[in-house]
Amino acid sequence: MKRAYGFDEVALVPGDVTINPDQTNIAFTIRNLTFSTPILAASMDAIVDPNFAILTSKLGGLAVLNLDGVQTRYEKPEEVLAEISQASDAEVTALLQKIYSQPVKENLIAERIQTIKQAGATCAVSLIPATTKRLAPVADEAGADIVVVQSTVTTARHISKSYRGLIFSELCQMVSMPVIVGNCVTYGAALELMRTGIDGILVGIGPGAACTTREVIGVGVPQVTATMDCAAARDTYFEETGRYVALITDGGIRTGSDLCKAFASGADAVMLGSILAQAKEAPGKGYNWGMSHPNPALPRGTRVKVGARASLEQLLFGPTSVTNGTENFVGALRTAMGVCGALAIKDMHKVKMVIAPAIKTEGKYFQAMQGMS
Amino acid sequence: MKRAYGFDEVALVPGDVTINPDQTNIAFTIRNLTFSTPILAASMDAIVDPNFAILTSKLGGLAVLNLDGVQTRYEKPEEVLAEISQASDAEVTALLQKIYSQPVKENLIAERIQTIKQAGATCAVSLIPATTKRLAPVADEAGADIVVVQSTVTTARHISKSYRGLIFSELCQMVSMPVIVGNCVTYGAALELMRTGIDGILVGIGPGAACTTREVIGVGVPQVTATMDCAAARDTYFEETGRYVALITDGGIRTGSDLCKAFASGADAVMLGSILAQAKEAPGKGYNWGMSHPNPALPRGTRVKVGARASLEQLLFGPTSVTNGTENFVGALRTAMGVCGALAIKDMHKVKMVIAPAIKTEGKYFQAMQGMS
Amino acid sequence: MKRAYGFDEVALVPGDVTINPDQTNIAFTIRNLTFSTPILAASMDAIVDPNFAILTSKLGGLAVLNLDGVQTRYEKPEEVLAEISQASDAEVTALLQKIYSQPVKENLIAERIQTIKQAGATCAVSLIPATTKRLAPVADEAGADIVVVQSTVTTARHISKSYRGLIFSELCQMVSMPVIVGNCVTYGAALELMRTGIDGILVGIGPGAACTTREVIGVGVPQVTATMDCAAARDTYFEETGRYVALITDGGIRTGSDLCKAFASGADAVMLGSILAQAKEAPGKGYNWGMSHPNPALPRGTRVKVGARASLEQLLFGPTSVTNGTENFVGALRTAMGVCGALAIKDMHKVKMVIAPAIKTEGKYFQAMQGMS
Amino acid sequence: MKRAYGFDEVALVPGDVTINPDQTNIAFTIRNLTFSTPILAASMDAIVDPNFAILTSKLGGLAVLNLDGVQTRYEKPEEVLAEISQASDAEVTALLQKIYSQPVKENLIAERIQTIKQAGATCAVSLIPATTKRLAPVADEAGADIVVVQSTVTTARHISKSYRGLIFSELCQMVSMPVIVGNCVTYGAALELMRTGIDGILVGIGPGAACTTREVIGVGVPQVTATMDCAAARDTYFEETGRYVALITDGGIRTGSDLCKAFASGADAVMLGSILAQAKEAPGKGYNWGMSHPNPALPRGTRVKVGARASLEQLLFGPTSVTNGTENFVGALRTAMGVCGALAIKDMHKVKMVIAPAIKTEGKYFQAMQGMS
């Protein structure tokens, strides 16, 4: 058994050269699309609606609109979202189940995409594997720039009696836009997925020790190791083909520190979920929730109060009033790249890390002081 | 000194292929008996009575009736069980000591077995080593299907002045039914036990770090390592003889995650104790208790309130209303096998695990969120 | 840097053979003196007075009388002891400093020893290095059976301007009784000490992670590694000379589990301090305290309430009413030897251990249950 | 990835020889200046003012006066310091920002240095890299004995668009006094810095697991490993050139134990911050605060109440009334050197350490007792 590491267990080693943070370049690219901010907003109904997608695009990042949620099930999703955020704790589970039992409407897919595109923003959308074959062409035709096909664990080969599995190589032929697929965590699974012709890959399954996936079924790989292994697959595939598939670490990132370590582990970008649910502009209005899981016998995720505590711009770029690393993620990345001597994200991939567990000390006093002396 | 691992310290790695959970096969076999659900109910008075055994059998599993407890000491065990569950905390220890000082009656052994058999259920019974030679033939003649001989630590060789140790090879000759023996945790002890001709082996001694056996006498091996080592002995023995001895991991399983890891470590089935004491149908009526230990100078276990929180069917198959992995154990196993690409339990034995300690984070908020993003 | 292990980080592995606990032999020997119970009572004023020494001897163990404490400074130590146990928390530190500033009286040394000897008990006494040369002959002449020379860190070579260091080889010539010396924790220091001709060695410096020595000066080696390393020195020395020096693990033992692990690490006996201060017969009357340290600038130890919770016999041999391993230490040792297949202490030295950290789980319910299922 | 260790994870191993603490020599040298106490007071406004510098010098140590703080921005810094310590929590952040926006006055630099020199004390001053070229000659001319150029992460090579980086080799030519530079944590960065001709090096970046630098940007190396790696660079450089650069471990030291381990890891001296802020003579009057960070988007450090609990002399030399290692740091060092057999600091560098994590036990009772038995 190999030891796998999470964000809490490693630390970045400063470089022999340092760079002024304002000289670092943090852009990342998916096929022919380049983004100045290497951060994706997760395709969750509490986080991304068309307005949030437009705002994210203006700030240089990329928000992914969930085509399997309230935006495409309801003409007026804002009413449904208001219902969720106003429901009592007692009634919210039943409400969520009712809301997500409505069918997805194809005309709404086109409508949402067009709203985003008309604002001049880049439009990424997400689908679950079961509906991808049917709906990806709809999104493609409506002008979506990127499609994300996402499930908890995704492989290039899926064995099923009930339906013929989604063939990613066929999907890549079927749509003109870049395809991002996930999630995966191993060298083997990542390499096979890349060989289907996809343009990006999402890394992260059961990333946190306290993650539901790990608690319920015991499956998961901590994110530092998962990202490193998938990055090795990306590099192997690049050597073989000359094609560079973007690696996006998704899940488990709670602080600027975690984000910096994801890049040092090999990520080209990161996908943020619960952090961005705290943006004042997020449609969840201070709440976040998971969507109903395909298998109702193993429910995962209920509505959680996260608080709408800062604007998206402040979360990404500061200024920050907190000292715990939960704001100004871009500033943290640039500062880390500066002290590690990384001019671009690809230099950050080469930064050394040490294994240095975050043992919690009890003396709160010393915790506060250590940042000073 | 070798490092030994427990459930909390490892995680399963998803496969390169995934499988729909409904296509997985989780059956397991003891000699010529096959069970569709690879879960045994521990032979504790608070868990298994004839009704519970019949119900478990209907659900595809196997309950083990304790032939050294209230069922065989009392004509009307339900009265005694009611006394235990109604006793105050102050009086319960004395009550338990009194209750378990009554002798076991051979006629009741036959009676309980026949009740189970007449319902068409498979009947497994347990004995302690000291009474096995006398009572195993009684159970065999009464129609029991499987006999479990269980003590905290069992080896094929036991040195004693006071009595001639139980010889397992003689026992296997003496009874026609399959024999399961335990508990053991090492390659050597497991291999020696298998060579006596037994059909199943129970793995688990002092499995948890907080286990009484480890706290009082310092003895124990965490379950992942114990199961792996005994599984290696099973495989060695199978290569030598062509006979496959069933490996049953017993103890330390608290969640679906733990259960999945037991199978990935090499278990053919698992034995659940405290989890099943929480079934509404369990005779303990929301309580569980250890039996008086042979050595009264080192008492272990008192009555513990566990709560009768769900039906046995719900505990095993869901649907579940909780997200912490303490319900729908079969669903968890099938889901894990699906994402790990294991069609049958023997494929699950080959699933990779990583060492990934469950470091508890303090931010409850992030714990709730990580399962989502 | 080598990894060092403490009691909490290892567990004993059961054997391939098991033995009935009543057939185990736990005797240990210092030169020509054999004790049926391999437990020494630490030379602390709160633990050992002549009555306690006599009682311990009757129970097969060995209590060490502190010749540098109240017993030899006061004609009527019981009055002084009563003062300490009755003092308020506010006044006790000053009181202890006053009490221990009285000089040691040589005539009292002889008197205390004779009290113990006249009761037919074995008499062990302890001295600090600075007074050993002067007082060891006094004790020897008064009939003491064993002398223990103890300081926090003891080596065969000590560099000092102010006094010529105690030469242990000279001490061994000077007195007829066996000499025990300590404490030490390394192979090198233990071997050098043995070569001076001593009969026993105390192992333990800063054993616990929370130990004052480790907190104040950072010095210490966890007890499993310390005992293993010194046991290797003992075995080397035995091979070289044929003389077997008794190894006594001193400090850090809190439970039966710890005690069993000390023997598995190589101890021939253990010295217990705080545990025995809880005996109803201990002169501390439910309190324990450290003596004033030679260097007043680094005080260590104040009076601590420990509670007088059980008789010495019950602490050593049970029966016990607790399930946390803090009573019936001898029963725990015999049970562990039984399941590990060790007939005598020297067999226990060969028992395998695994590294299996005691990660604390939060679910108290599962902690209680794990000992059962 | 290499494992890196912090103070909490290691322990010192006692020697085969012991030495009386009063015979140990703890002096350390920077170029031609020798200090009898190897402790530097960190250049923080809450810790060092001219009076504190004079007192530290009398006690054999070295205080570093911050030339970028209130002492050089204000004619009457005592008034500003009083304002800070009297401000409410709500207003203090704004107050600190206002206070530190005043410009540094060159005439005050000379004045403060002269105050210290006229008292016969050694005067060390600190500068940030951006102002060093301009102000170091001013300090040199005013009679400063040592200049410290300090930033969070310092390398010999810094890439910047906005200003030409500080060239340390030029600085060493420019001023006659010894130059200390920091902070760094790696062999490579330390070696490059030494090759610029500097006389001392500060080790420590993000030392603590709870450190703000690690939490916000994920960068840091625990101090045992950082000190060992930089000490290896110092030794390499000494072998190459015959010039011995003083290594000063800065940050993360909370107790005497930590301090002793810093020396055993290779430090020639240590720099203390938050500990010395607790001195009654410290100008922070029981408070400590970080200075405004160059990047206001990532603020670090606010005002923290530390309490003015003992005189500087007592903190350094005792006597101490506490048993947790937070007073009498010099006594702790001498005692550790004594039991480890180290006559001088350079012998302390050779003392063995073991990896022995400080796992916190829950039983407070045993924690108190372990120091005794």
Segments forming the whole domain that contains residue A177: 27-256+265-313
pLDDT of residue A93: 80
What's the token pair of residue A81?
A: 């979202």
Residue with tokens 């492989």: A155
Whether residue A203 contacts residue A182, with contact meaning beta carbons closer than 8 Å, is answered with: yes
Whether residue C355 contacts residue C10, with contact meaning beta carbons closer than 8 Å, is answered with: yes
User: Which residues from chain B sit within 8 angstroms of residue C323, using beta carbons?
Assistant: 212, 215-216, 299-302
Interstrand relation of C39-41 and C28-30 (parallel, antiparallel or unpaired) = unpaired
A2–B355: do the CB atoms touch at under 8 Å? yes
Q: What is the mean pLDDT of chain C?
A: 90
pLDDT of residue B291: 60
Judge whether D1 lies within some domain: no
Question: Once rounded to an integer, what is the mean pLDDT over residues A112-125?
Answer: 98
Question: Once rounded to an integer, what is the mean pLDDT over residues A64-73?
Answer: 95
Residue C214 binned pLDDT confidence (cut-offs 50, 70, 90)? confident
What distance in Å separates the CA atoms of residue C47 and residue C288, rounded to the nearest whole number? 8
Which of B3, B4, B13 is CA-nearest to residue B261? B13
SS3 sequence of chain A? CEECCCHHHEEECCCCEEECHHHCECCEEECCEEECCCEEECCCCCCCCHHHHHHHHHCCCEEEEECCCHHHHCCCHHHHHHHHHHCCHHHHHHHHHHHCCCCCCHHHHHHHHHHHHHCCCCCEEEECHHHHHHHHHHHHHHCCCEEEEECCCCCCEEECCCCCCCCHHHHHHHCCCCEEEEEECCHHHHHHHHCCCCCEEEECCCCCCCCHHHHHHCECCCHHHHHHHHHHHHHHHHHHHCCCCEEEEECCCCCHHHHHHHHHHCCCEEEECCCHHHECCCCCCCEECCCCCCCCCCCCCCCEECCCCECHHHHHHCCCCCCCCCCCHHHHHHHHHHHHCCCEHHHHCCCCEEECCCCCCCCHHHHHHHCCC
Beta-ladder partners of C62: C40
Alpha helices in chain B (DSSP H): 50-58, 70-73, 77-86, 89-99, 106-118, 129-141, 168-174, 187-194, 212-217, 223-241, 256-265, 312-317, 329-340, 345-348, 364-370
Question: Once rounded to an integer, what is the mean pLDDT over residues C82-109?
Answer: 90
What's the token pair of residue B7?
A: 């459930």
Q: Which sign, positive or negative, has the C-alpha torsion B359, B365, B368, B371?
A: negative
Q: Judged by CB atoms within 8 Å, which residues 186-215 of D form the interface with A?
A: 186, 188-189, 192, 205-215
User: Which residues from chain D sit within 8 angstroms of residue A336, using beta carbons?
Assistant: 217-219
Question: Once rounded to an integer, what is the mean pLDDT over residues C140-160?
Answer: 93
Residue C216 binned pLDDT confidence (cut-offs 50, 70, 90)? confident
What's the gap in Å between the CA of D127 and the closest CA on chain A? 15
Length of chain A: 373
Q: What are the pLDDT tens digits along chain D (373 aa)?
A: 999 999 999 999 999 999 999 999 999 999 999 999 999 999 999 999 999 999 999 999 999 999 999 999 999 999 999 999 999 988 888 888 889 889 999 999 999 999 999 999 999 999 999 899 999 999 999 999 999 999 889 999 988 876 677 899 999 999 999 999 999 999 999 999 999 999 999 999 987 655 667 788 999 999 999 999 999 999 999 999 999 999 999 999 999 999 999 999 999 999 999 899 999 999 999 999 876 444 444 444 478 888 999 999 999 998 877 777 888 999 999 999 999 999 999 999 999 999 998 755 433 333 333 333 3
- One DSSP character per residue, C103-144 reads PP-HHHHHHHHHHHHHTT---EEEE-HHHHHHHHHHHHHHT-
Using CA atoms, how far residue C105 sits from A30, A239, A364, B10, C70, in Å, is 88, 85, 49, 62, 10
pLDDT of residue C289: 85
Each residue's pLDDT tens digit, A80-99: 999 999 999 888 888 888 89
Question: Once rounded to an integer, what is the mean pLDDT over residues C225-237?
Answer: 98
pLDDT of residue A163: 63
pLDDT of residue D368: 35
Whether residue C293 contacts residue C300, with contact meaning beta carbons closer than 8 Å, is answered with: yes
What distance in Å separates the CA atoms of residue C326 and residue C258, rounded to the nearest whole number? 10
pLDDT of residue C213: 79
Residue C368 binned pLDDT confidence (cut-offs 50, 70, 90)? very low
Candidates B217, B300, B303: best to mutate against C (most CBs of C within 10 A) is: B217
Judge whether D2 lies within some domain: no
Please name the amino acid found at residue A119: A
**HSE, side-chain direction, 13 A CA sphere, residue A136:** 28
Each residue's pLDDT tens digit, A177-228: 999 999 999 999 999 999 999 999 999 998 765 566 778 899 999 999 999 9
Q: Judged by CB atoms within 8 Å, which residues 253-272 of D form the interface with C?
A: 255-261, 264
Question: Once rounded to an integer, what is the mean pLDDT over residues B275-304?
Answer: 75
What distance in Å separates the CA atoms of residue D147 and residue C292, rounded to the nearest whole number? 44
Classify A301 in phi/psi space as left (phi over 0), alpha (psi -120 to 50) or beta. left
pLDDT of residue B208: 61
From the list A9, A192, A250, which residue is nearest B16 (CB)? A192
Which of D136, D146, D124 is CA-nearest to residue D167? D136
Residues contacting A164, CB < 8 A, separation 6+: none
- For residue C321, pLDDT over 50 is answered with yes
- For residue B20, pLDDT over 90 is answered with yes
User: Which residues from chain A sit within 8 angstroms of residue D126, using beta carbons?
Assistant: none
Give all chains having 3 or more CB-to-CB distances under 8 Å with chain D.
A, C
What distance in Å separates the CA atoms of residue C144 and residue B153, rounded to the nearest whole number? 44
What's the gap in Å between the CA of A155 and the closest CA on chain B? 6
Judge whether B320 lies within some domain: yes
Judge whether B2 lies within some domain: no
Instruction: Compute the C-alpha angle D118/D120/D123, nearest 5°.
Output: 85
- For residue C301, pLDDT over 80 is answered with no
Strand positions, DSSP E, chain D: 2-3, 10-12, 17-19, 28-30, 33-35, 39-41, 62-66, 124-127, 146-150, 157-159, 179-184, 200-203, 246-250, 269-272, 287-288, 304-305, 353-355
- Phi, psi dihedrals of residue B35, rounded to the nearest 5°: -120, 135
Beta-ladder partners of B182: B150, B202
pLDDT of residue C211: 61
Residues contacting A87, CB < 8 A, separation 6+: A95, A303
User: Which residues from chain A sit within 8 angstroms of residue B366, using beta carbons?
Assistant: 208, 210, 254, 274
Whether residue C342 contacts residue C16, with contact meaning beta carbons closer than 8 Å, is answered with: no
Question: Once rounded to an integer, what is the mean pLDDT over residues C255-272?
Answer: 97
Strand, helix or coil for residue B101: coil
Q: Judged by CB atoms within 8 Å, which residues 107-166 of C form the interface with D?
A: 152-162
What's the gap in Å between the CA of D16 and the closest CA on chain A? 31
From the list B155, B214, B288, which residue is nearest C11 (CB)? B214
From the list B10, B319, B340, which residue is nearest A297 (CB)? B319
The total number of structural domains that make up chain A = 1
C325–B6: do the CB atoms touch at under 8 Å? no
D336–C218: do the CB atoms touch at under 8 Å? yes
What distance in Å separates the CA atoms of residue B248 and residue B270, rounded to the nearest whole number? 5
Beta-ladder partners of C146: C124
Residue with tokens 């108190």: D368
User: Which residues from chain B sit within 8 angstroms of residue A154, using beta carbons?
Assistant: 18
What distance in Å separates the CA atoms of residue A19 and residue A21, rounded to the nearest whole number? 6
What distance in Å separates the CA atoms of residue B149 and residue B177, rounded to the nearest whole number? 12
D220–A319: do the CB atoms touch at under 8 Å? no
- For residue C365, pLDDT over 70 is answered with no
Judge whether A22 lies within some domain: no
Which of B33, B49, B83 is CA-nearest to residue B277? B49
With residue B287 as reference, give the H or E element that holds it: strand B287-288
CATH of the domain at D186: 3.20.20.70
From the list D14, D319, D369, which residue is nearest C273 (CB)? D369
pLDDT of residue D326: 87
pLDDT of residue B207: 79
- pTM of the entire predicted model: 0.94
Give the max Cα distance, chain B.
63
What's the gap in Å between the CA of A125 and the closest CA on chain D? 30
Judge whether A325 lies within some domain: no
Judge whether B1 lies within some domain: no
